Every structure is written in C-alpha cells, then in structure tokens.
Amino acid sequence: MGRNGKVILVGAGPGDPGLLTIKGREALQRAEVVVYDRLVGPAILAMMPEKAEKIDVGKAAAHHTVPQWQINQILLDKAREGKVVVRLKGGDPFVFGRGGEELELLEENGIPFEEVPGITSAIAACAYAGIPVTHRDFCSSLHIITGHAKAGAELTIDFDALVRTRGTLVFLMGVTAMPKIVEGLLRAGMDPEMPAAMVESGTTPLQRRCGATLRTLPERAAEMGIHSPAIIVVGKVCALADRFCWFDKLPLKGKRILVTRPKERAGTLSDKLRALGAEVWEYPCIETVPIRPCPSMAAALDHIADYAWLVFTSPAGVSAFRTELRRMGKDGRYLAAVKLGAIGTGTARALSEMGLTADFLPTVYDAEHLGRELPAEGRVLILRAEIGSPALTQALERRGIPYDDIPVYRTVYQNGASRALRQALEAGELPYVTFTSASTVKGFAATVGEGADFSRTLGLCIGEQTAAEARRRGIPAAVAGEATIDAVVALALEQ
C-alpha cells in the first residue's frame, strides 16, 4: 500500500462566495478530490480544480443521497489512494456539520487531516438580514441550537433553560420542526410578543426574511412559503432588522444575470454584480485556446524591429504573446523599439501585469476605432484570435497602413450546461445576459441551440458590434456607455 494522502475539512460558509476564507480557497485549489454537499453555493463549486475528481454526496433535509457512513468511507478510501481530499461542507464543519464524525474514521486509520473553519449561517444569515446576534441593550448571550433530530426521534431541547438565558436563540436546520420549537418556547414561558424571524437562503441573492413575533411566526412563515435552507432567530435583536437590513437594499437584489465571459475572465464581472446583490449565473460559453506552437508569431517576433506597432485586441492575445516571449527567453526590454496598442482598458491591464504600458487606446474600445485611430507610423503586427473582427484590418487598409494579422489563439464554443440553460431561457427565468464580445454572443447562441426564443432575455452588451451580433440572433440588446466592465455593470443598474 502506498503513502496515505490527506483530508481537509473545509467550511464553505453559507452561500456568498465572498465568505469563503482565504485558507479554505487555497485548500480547494490544491484538491485532487472534492467531496461536497448540496448547500455549497454554485459559485464556490465553480472554484474546484478542473482536474479534480468531484463527488456529490448531496445531503439535504430528510434526504441523503449518500448516507453518512458511506461519506466517511469515501474520505478514507480516497486518502488511502494518496490523494489530497477536500471535504467541502456548507457553513462550518464543526457547527452541526457532522465534521467530528467524519474525522473519527480518519483518526482511527492514521489518516492526516485538517479542519478549516467556515462562517456559520447562524452568524452570517443574521448579519445579512440586519439582525445583530448580540447587542448590549438587548442581550448578553448567543445560543446556537440544532432544530433537527435523528430520524424517528423527538427534539431533545431544554426550552426552559433557553428561555432563562434571555439571550438570542438561533436554530439551525429547524424548518420542519419550527412549530414545535415555537410551542416549546411558549410553553417554557417566553413572551409571545418576543421578536422573531426566519431567514431563508441566507447571504445569497435568493435570501428572504420573514419577520414576526414568536406567536405569529408559524403563520407568517407559512404565508411566505419559507423553506429549507433557513434559520430561525428568536430574541429582542430581531426588532432591529428593519433598520439594519442592508442586503435587501442592494440595487441589483432580486435580479438574475447570466455572465458569458470565458471562465478565466468571468470573475471580475461576476464579483461586481454579486457585490450589488445580483444573482449571478456563470455560463462561460467560450474558451480561448492558445495556438501552440505558433510559428507565425515566433517568426514575427524574431523580426520585431520591422514593426512600428504591436497591437492586441484582448487579454487572451496578451497571454499568448507573454508565453511566446518567455519561450524565446526575452522580457519587456525586447520591445524597446516598438509601440504597444490595446483595444481597451482590460487589454491594457493585461499588458500592465507584464510590466508594459499601452502607448495607444482608441476613443471607443472596439476594432473599428482601433484601426481608424491608430497612428500611421509604420507596419503593424496584430496578435489576436483566429477569427477576429474584420473591422480592424479593413480600417487599416483604407488608410494604407501595412499590417501582419497573426492568429495566436482560437475561440472554442462549449458548455456542458446547455440543456439546463435552454430550459431556463424558455421558462423566462433569464431576464438578463451579459455579452463582452461578439464571440460570447456566438458561443451563447451555439450552446443554447437553434430555434431558441430569446425575446424575454435582454442582452447587456459591451459595445455596438457586440449588440449588433446579438440582434442578428434575435436577442434584444442594450449597449453600455463605453466598452468597459464597469460600464456593463452600470448598464445592469439602469434596467
């Protein structure tokens, strides 16, 4: 038998990907196997390494796709294969997450393990709902209780002791047992008018808060249709929720927006939209694949002195160029005699990350303006996609500027979730979709498939050329004020 691997229990937090700790993210990034639950948010699942083995054990209320004993065995077996195994759990693994049970079998078999704490929903969901779990004017203690009992068993909660604490009570996994929890507290003498709340899908864009008194909570929750996952909060601090509920006031709260950027560049736009409260669906329908080897780029760079300008139309082109420059054993000093042109701020930023400064950006960040406005100072070397916009080279030709247009990467249209996307589209569940290039429009349409009805989906487009491609495919389009990610976000805010 070979050397054992290692198991890392990672708390993924309650749903907001921004609440995953730095240490948790680092552990996830080096995982060779990821064993995850239903309550881990999709944005966090998207961080799993592509090459990692992914095992969905799908634990949900009253239904475990994989029983606990089998999950424990999976962790042991995968560690014995010498793998780095991340057990990814919603919230915190040690706060009613059965993390201790999972470690027992590992410890008995001599498997190394770690536990990375996560932010528990008992704290985070309350915070996002405007409920401070402690406050000097209202309480001096906080109590976290499980509202879930083993199958067939009754709740074993000492309600009399809880009422005597006069503290804030947070019940996890208590949706089904909520009427019994309320009855138990009332029977133990708690004031029927005590402020109470339920927070459903806390810290996610789907979050809803049900505010009530202890007496009216069951009726109010039933009226709203509150369902799992949700927490129950009882205590005077719940009266502060209307004043402190910052999350529900975010400008994009309640809006679902599909992001189509390539996976490696989706993060910036998605993060900005999430920060404003949007429910973001990441659907990277295109992938940029560098052309390797690329003899035409190598030959052009060997004669870089023949060019007055080196022009890039995307960060992907900069990335391919950087790889080739390293292969040649060169750095930025090699470009001393050539000026650099970039189609926009994103591409200029990619150059900046190489320690290079773009000498020219057009007034409008698109191919036509780049070709129309680039100073006519000599031959131009363009490093871009295999199928790039003809507007750039057509503009250069009209001005009599010589150029070499070299493809350094290919755009591949693909996404494994196309069926689910089409179903959501046809059900009218995708009111907004972002397009940051004509390629993302083509990729979106290709993966959804022919005959799709786009009439109820508005394309939020980075520029006129992108919008024109959307309209050609029957997608209503709105255009950002300028060709930047921030302008696309501003466009979303206007809707």
Strand 403-413 with 286-290, pairing: antiparallel
Yes or no: say if 294 and 320 are a contact pair by the CB < 8 Å rule: yes
Yes or no: say if 34 and 223 are a contact pair by the CB < 8 Å rule: no
Q: Helix, strand or coil for residue 63? A: strand
Yes or no: say if 128 and 203 are a contact pair by the CB < 8 Å rule: yes
- Give me the sheet containing 195-200, strands edge to edge: 142-146, 168-172, 230-234, 195-200, 208-213
The C-alpha atoms of residue 186 and residue 189 are separated, in whole angstroms, by 5
Give just the sign of the alpha carbon dihedral 206, 235, 94, 104.
negative
Yes or no: say if 384 and 317 are a contact pair by the CB < 8 Å rule: yes
Which residues belong to the active site?
37, 59
The C-alpha atoms of residue 209 and residue 338 are separated, in whole angstroms, by 59
How far, in Å, are 13, 173, 424 from residue 427 at the CA level? 30, 31, 5
Yes or no: say if 218 and 185 are a contact pair by the CB < 8 Å rule: no
Yes or no: say if 310 and 339 are a contact pair by the CB < 8 Å rule: yes
The C-alpha atoms of residue 252 and residue 274 are separated, in whole angstroms, by 8
How far, in Å, are 201, 232, 381 from residue 182 at the CA level? 21, 10, 72
